[in-house]
Structure 1
């Protein structure tokens, strides 16, 4: 019995010693909020994406709640500073104190828009920076719901030509095991019903643009205090969107920007209402011939150039489909989904109709785009919204 007691005492002392030395099993303190900014910059806008890091650093001193801001950087133009993909962090105490940049982990050269890499990085963030709440910022090229097409579209991301389909991104986020209070897309054309429906279970809110985002991206020096706040996620998401518009309206050299905040737990109800309308007005789909769709592209289209005909204002489509008689239940549910929307278009990239702008786009199948149509049929929105019963 005496020997057992001695062995037990030795075991306890050894455990304390290993813990004090920072062994692998040392618990990592859990913070209130961890934000991951996932930057895929190994492409032609690498310098623009990189500038967001300095913008975040500028904004961290204004954060009023403690938390951790983590950045994953994979970019081709900064090989001297970041020769390989790097995960680093900043700690803030909410009182103006910001830690120096601390490298958490470096990775060998990898495809940062592959499912495996996204999952591994998210798991590393969860292991090294555990928190009560997580948020995600995704920054790179993007083309919304579209399929990965090396000649035209990127879907999301561009890592030396590699991209990821939105359904695959959704799977990666799910397999990471993390649910986010918001996902912010610092990328073009992401506010589409097809994208929002695929990602409805990944986050409570989505902050995204239905049209192109200028290369300067989001004004992180203004919005970081909202991004790291753990209280009132909905209002913080709206504040981010408001400051985005304010920046492009009053500070940026080109006054252009479109933005929306989407509440994901409301989008299934919107799909159900859309499905009932599609069934009721199915015969009206014949109106959307090439001539009508070209008109829509000119007046309500969000894509440009090679992305013409890929996305149109969702409310404009429903108005045309219902003979200018949008059902009130659709209007009410759309407001529950898109809880904030705005735009500034003094510098016009596409036409925005102030009377119809909904902040969210949709695809209208087009006989001239067979590849897009084939891929569209694989998306969850296709059947949820009733397109599968229309003959498309």
Structure 2
């Protein structure tokens, strides 16, 4: 009887261990790289944002490294194909083979620019498409650092009128627990020191436009091979930016050539803030130069925002040049080049008067007494304290 009991226990234990092995075999494989494209298209550019999906599909066959490309779509104009917000993916083997679109999860109607939804989607991606490395693309309306309000000021996103402030988006990314190789914003006015400083801990690199972006967005069919690549994050980010400018300069014939872009190395942002604070302290008296005439001049010559976002962002290097009486410290120039590792533009359309001698690829806000609402919100941004605006007399 004792031998029978021992044999019975052994059989049970063997069955249990076998079952555990089956569970492990059925687990989701870990990819080398997963890219999430997060598209918030329930707005007046829904059709244009939707076209990004076809552009991605067109380029996946050119990818030379295996990985997973995931798309989250929430758009009002495609209710037939996507009646609710949907998360779907494509698997590529890096040799030209691309899987069919596979729906991972559908969601009930939700605010896709709320902290909770952003976090939940990112965690779903981590669960269903685990990877050694992640990158992120946001596509929607945007107005950079500006506060969300009832007008056209969006900060980031427009989900049937819902928007999210950049500090809140930064918190959601932090709470997801994922650190990204890069974050690309297919959205207007995002290359600003205030935005980059808020997002400095979320990714190694940011790919951003300081001015507006045409409704055709980024040429993903050209860029996907770099989006999923894992060999050199910095160079791949630069290649993405180069493809963006090249597309509008040489290929997008239905539009007058227009594009601005920058690649930001986030771990250099703290040092840039420190140098800026020193300059602000040294040249604080020169802030008085920025009277109404000077502000108007800056908007005309260096302003990235157009109506209704006039006076919201100007070229950062132009500001420091004026602040220092055309005597930019070499330490600032050196650090700025470490932050903005690539910048370019094509400006045949003339939407923004870019000065090629001063163009830095990144913008900044200059507080002025007339902009009381913006000034009040500006004080809530991390850049306000880090760059020394709290010590300034304005």
Residue 234 of structure 1 is matched in structure 2 by 234
| Counterpart check, 1:85 vs 2:51 | no
Distance 1:17 1:222 in 2: 45
Residue 243 of structure 2 is matched in structure 1 by 243
Distance 2:351 2:220 in 1: 23
Distance 1:345 1:5 in 2: 81
| Counterpart check, 1:35 vs 2:35 | yes
Shift of 1:4: 5.0
Is 2:190–2:208's contact at 8 Å kept on the other side of the alignment?
yes
Q: How does 1:45-124 map to 2 (within 5 A)?
A: 45-124=45-124
Shift of 1:13: 2.6
Match of 1:147, SS state, is coil
Distance 1:137 1:331 in 2: 29
Shift of 1:14: 5.1
Distance 1:79 1:168 in 2: 29
Shift of 1:5: 4.8
Residue 339 of structure 2 is matched in structure 1 by 337
| Counterpart check, 1:389 vs 2:375 | no
Change (3 A) 1:4 1:195: farther
Change (3 A) 1:282 1:143: same
Distance 2:267 2:46 in 1: 34
Q: How does 1:229-308 map to 2 (within 5 A)?
A: 229-252=229-252, 253-254=254-255, 255-308=257-310
Distance 1:310 1:123 in 2: 34
Match of 2:168, SS state, is helix
Cα deviation, 1:225-253, whole Å, max 9, x if unaligned, reads 00000110000000000000000001112
Shift of 1:391: 2.9
Match of 2:215, SS state, is coil
Match of 1:35, SS state, is strand
Cα deviation, 1:84-128, whole Å, max 9, x if unaligned, reads 000000000000000000000000000000000000000000000
Cα deviation, 1:208-238, whole Å, max 9, x if unaligned, reads 0000000010000000000000110000000
Residue 126 of structure 2 is matched in structure 1 by 126
Match of 1:112, SS state, is coil
Q: TM-score, normalised by structure 1?
A: 0.97
Shift of 1:66: 0.3
Change (3 A) 1:102 1:122: same
Q: TM-score, normalised by structure 2?
A: 0.97
Q: How does 1:143-182 map to 2 (within 5 A)?
A: 143-182=143-182
Shift of 1:149: 1.2
Shift of 1:257: 0.3
Is 2:45–2:215's contact at 8 Å kept on the other side of the alignment?
yes
Match of 2:390, SS state, is helix
Distance 2:82 2:20 in 1: 33
Distance 2:203 2:12 in 1: 47
Cα deviation, 1:300-351, whole Å, max 9, x if unaligned, reads 0000011000000000000000000000000000000000000001112111
Distance 2:318 2:8 in 1: 78
Aligned pair count reads 390
Q: How does 1:348-387 map to 2 (within 5 A)?
A: 348-387=350-389
Change (3 A) 1:288 1:8: farther
| Counterpart check, 1:44 vs 2:52 | no
Residue 329 of structure 2 is matched in structure 1 by 327
Match of 2:205, SS state, is strand
Residue 314 of structure 1 is matched in structure 2 by 316
Change (3 A) 1:293 1:103: same
Distance 2:10 2:258 in 1: 69
Cα deviation, 1:34-55, whole Å, max 9, x if unaligned, reads 0000000000000000000000
Higher deviation after alignment, 92-101 or 366-375: 366-375
Is 2:179–2:202's contact at 8 Å kept on the other side of the alignment?
yes
Residue 197 of structure 2 is matched in structure 1 by 197
Is 2:268–2:338's contact at 8 Å kept on the other side of the alignment?
yes
Aligned CA-pair RMSD: 1.4
Higher deviation after alignment, 251-260 or 194-203: 251-260
Is 2:315–2:361's contact at 8 Å kept on the other side of the alignment?
yes
